Structure formats: structure tokens, C-alpha cells
């Protein structure tokens, strides 16, 4: 699959209700999400399989990539479109070999430009930098600066995603610096938010991202 990060990269919440999760993810796609990453850090193996199995056809219907976070076995079982791993999750070259050259491999590089360079050389198709701002999705251990994106845009070829605390008011600086897309988790899938509200929230972010710099 030819892959280009462009705009809203949606990262699923730790939600147990599969039917509700599907509604929210489809709403975010209808609002403009161009990539979906399935990430559920509290689900057991059976629930992860059930949820990912339900989300994959939704993404295929809307012709956008479906990325699995961390779990190579789940990726292989579903023949998903890609796998996303952390920068400390092992051999990137082995991960790329394991998923196949025509599949997407993304790597979280936090604030480490050198790790991102290594990821590109090892076969990553995109990298993610962040968090740039505090986020409720997970504890923020790293604080990234926009300069990372500028260096990446000037020196490297694969796309990069800015993740962590991105809002419609602050995203312009990160797009201008060189981010190809922006990752949203809790900012998009906030607890208690309806599917329609998720769709409208996605639209707000996508429209803000598309504004002239």
C-alpha cells in the first residue's frame, strides 16, 4: 500500500464497548480522519482481536489505512495495513521484515531525532514525534520541540506525525515546521462524546489543519 500521512491520524481510545468504538471511529473518518491506529492498552487478547476485526472492514470501506499498535500477532492475524511500534520496542528492521515490504511501519521516536534517522534507515514508512504538549492519553515522559519537525523536513524523506496535546489553536506551528499529519487520541475520542460530536470535532481539526499558513 502506498502511504502518505496527510492530516488527521486517529488513535483509538481504551474503550471496552466494541460497538461504540466502531461508531466513534467511523464518525472520525466521516469527519476527515485519513488514518486509524488501533491502540487499546488495557484490553485482553480476545477483546483486541474482536475490536480490531470490527474496525478493519470500516477502514477498508472508507479506503483508509488501518494500523495496529504494537501487536504483530494481531496485525498478521488480520492482514492489517500497518503496524506501529515504539522506538524501544525492538529491532525495527525485523519488524519491517515481519510485516512485509508492502505494508506500513510507523515508529514513535518521541524527542530523539537520532532514533528517527535509524528508523528510516531500518525501513520505517513514517515516524511520530511528541508529545509536544501535555496529553491525557498517557503520561508525558517526553517534551518535543517544533525544531524536530523542521530538521526532519529538511533532512529526511519519509513523513512525520506530530502527536500529543495538538489543538486547532496550536497546530499551525507544527504544520509550518514540517509535520505531514497530526495524531489525536483523547482530544478526539473524549469520554462521553457522541459519535456525532466526534465527527464534528474531527471536522474542526481537519479544517484548522487545512488553513493557509
User: What radius of gyration do the chain's Cα atoms show?
Assistant: 16
Catalytic residue among 39, 103, 175, 199: 39
Catalytic residue among 48, 96, 108, 175: 108
Sort residue 70 into left (φ over 0), alpha (ψ -120 to 50) or beta. Answer: left
114 among known catalytic residues: no
Q: Is 117 exposed, middle or buried (0-12, 13-18, 19+ CB in 10 A)?
A: middle
Distance CA 118, CA 96 (A): 13
Taking each continuous run of H as one helix and of E as one strand, the counts in the chain are 8, 8
Cell triple for residue 125?
514508512
Quickly count: other Cβ atoms within 10 Å of residue 56's Cβ: 18
Question: In which residue are the cell numbers 483508509 written?
Answer: 64
Backbone angles phi, psi at 77, to 5 degrees: -65, -35
Q: Name which of 116, 109, 127 is nearest 180 in CA terms.
A: 127
Residue 210 parent element (H or E):
helix 195-210
Catalytic residue among 4, 138, 194, 211: 138
39 among known catalytic residues: yes
Q: Is 36 exposed, middle or buried (0-12, 13-18, 19+ CB in 10 A)?
A: buried
Q: Which residues are catalytic?
A: 39, 108, 138
Amino acid at each position: 500500500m502506498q502511504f502518505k500521512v496527510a492530516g488527521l491520524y486517529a488513535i483509538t481510545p481504551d474503550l471496552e464497548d466494541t460497538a461504540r468504538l466502531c461508531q466513534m471511529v467511523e464518525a472520525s473518518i466521516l469527519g476527515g480522519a485519513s488514518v486509524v491506529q488501533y491502540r487499546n492498552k488495557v484490553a485482553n487478547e480476545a477483546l483486541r482481536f474482536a475490536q480490531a476485526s470490527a474496525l478493519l472492514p470500516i477502514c477498508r470501506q472508507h479506503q483508509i489505512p488501518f494500523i495496529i499498535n504494537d501487536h504483530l500477532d494481531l496485525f498478521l492475524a488480520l492482514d492489517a495495513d500497518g503496524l506501529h511500534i515504539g522506538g524501544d520496542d525492538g529491532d525495527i528492521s525485523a519488524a519491517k521484515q515481519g510485516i512485509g515490504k508492502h505494508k506500513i511501519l510507523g515508529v514513535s521516536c518521541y524527542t530523539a531525532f537520532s532514533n528517527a534517522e535509524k528508523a528510516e534507515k531500518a525501513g520505517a514508512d513514517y515516524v511520530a514525534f511528541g508529545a509536544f504538549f501535555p496529553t491525557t492519553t498517557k503520561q508525558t515522559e517526553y517534551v518535543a520541540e517544533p525544531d524536530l519537525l523542521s530538521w526532519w523536513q529538511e533532512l529526511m524523506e519519509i513523513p512525520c506525525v506530530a502527536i500529543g496535546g495538538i489543538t486547532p489553536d496550536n497546530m499551525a506551528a507544527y504544520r509550518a515546521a514540517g509535520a505531514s499529519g497530526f495524531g489525536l487520541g483523547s482530544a478526539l475520542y473524549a469520554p462521553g462524546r457522541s459519535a456525532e460530536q466526534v465527527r464534528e470535532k474531527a471536522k474542526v481539526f481537519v479544517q484548522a489543519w487545512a488553513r493557509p499558513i
